[in-house]
């Protein structure tokens, strides 16, 4: 199963970074111009354990709906979302936060698998892995920029 790992250093308190990462509003504002607000979940606020978050997006000329469930949440330290339905064969995203002096280390561990066997593997090697990494990096840059400025107040 392919895996992506990213570490982002953020000059902001751990709790602020954790909560910004749980913000549905910031997710929708930062991840993609093609992403729509969740349909069957609160359209704003912070995700909580057992909540289903549904996102609607257009990617590669294909409209897809992705539903993830928040399966674990340890306040200020970790939360996990697992896809319950959507475009992937498997999808698990762990978000970790660790205070390190005056900054927070945010770590993403993202495990996924595309459907369609060897064809999915080829698509992953050619396009999907680079696209997913770029999407996570864009999200993390937006979260960092928000957390390190007064902009965080509009989300929390």
Domain map of the chain by residue range?
A: 3-154
pTM of the entire predicted model = 0.90
pLDDT at residue 60 in the model: 67
Contact 155, 21 (CB under 8 A): no
- What pLDDT does residue 27 have? 85
Neighbours of 114 (CB within 10 A): 21
Residue 44, SS3 per DSSP? coil
Strands 90-100 and 103-113: antiparallel
Enclosing H/E stretch for 21: helix 14-21
Residue 126: predicted pLDDT: 78
Distance in angstroms (rounded) separating the CA atoms of residues 153 and 141: 17
The answer to whether 140 touches 133, Cβ cutoff 8 Å, is: no
CATH code for residues 3-154: 3.30.530.20
Work out the number of other CB atoms within 10 angstroms of the CB of residue 42. Answer: 14
pLDDT confidence of residue 41:
56
Predicted pLDDT of residue 33:
62
Q: Give every residue of the chain whose pLDDT is below 70, as ranges.
A: 32-43, 59-60, 124
Comparing CA positions, the residue from 20, 3, 151, 5 lying closest to residue 76 is: 20
Angle (CA) 58-128-86 rounded to 5° is 50
């Amino acid at each position: 199963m392919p895996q992506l790992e990213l570490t982002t250093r953020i000059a902001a308190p751990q709790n602020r970074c954790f909560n910004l990462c749980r913000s549905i509003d910031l997710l929708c504002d930062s991840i993609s111009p093609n992403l729509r607000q969740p349909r069957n979940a609160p359209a704003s606020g912070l995700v909580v354990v057992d909540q289903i978050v549904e996102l609607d997006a257009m990617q590669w000329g294909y409209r897809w709906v992705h539903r993830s469930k928040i399966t674990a949440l340890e306040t200020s330290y970790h939360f996990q979302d697992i896809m319950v339905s959507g475009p992937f064969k498997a999808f698990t995203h762990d978000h970790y936060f660790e205070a390190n002096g005056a900054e927070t280390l945010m770590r993403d561990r993202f495990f996924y698998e595309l459907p369609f066997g060897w064809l999915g593997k080829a698509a992953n090697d050619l396009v999907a892995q680079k696209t997913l990494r770029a999407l996570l990096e864009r999200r993390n840059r937006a979260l960092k920029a928000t957390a390190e400025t007064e902009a965080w107040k509009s989300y929390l």
